[in-house]
Amino acid sequence: MSSGYSILSDGAIVRWNGRAGQHEQSVGVGKIDPAKFHALLLEMYDMDPVSIHQQETGNMTTSLGIVSDDVVYTYTWPGVYGDDDAVPTIVRPLRDLVWKHIQDALAD
């Protein structure tokens, strides 16, 4: 089974789970305020996602994907998404930025 979060283009946050590659169950769990969502996008693209290369898997694998128009950036690493120590240095700033926005929206 896989589980995780998606941030949709309107800032809505969806928690999902299901088999790998399939979101069998999903539920809206929050929304990022429009100004914060705009700031997230600006910061994310300032990190130059095309220059980040991180593709590793393990028994448990975290995946961070960014979909921009028809371009998809995908980064994977061994470990679970809440495990800060498992995040590789090259992808940590991007992961931390996205994870912080998700956590802040869930706390509101």
pLDDT band at 1 (very low <50, low <70, confident <90, very high): low
Q: Stretch 64-89: mean pLDDT, rounded?
A: 88
**Per-residue pLDDT, 21:** 63
DSSP assignments along 44-106, one per residue = HHHT-GGG---B---SSEEEEEEEETTEEEEEEEES-TT-GGGS-TTTHHHHHHHHHHHHHHH
**Per-residue pLDDT, 90:** 95
In this prediction the pTM is: 0.85
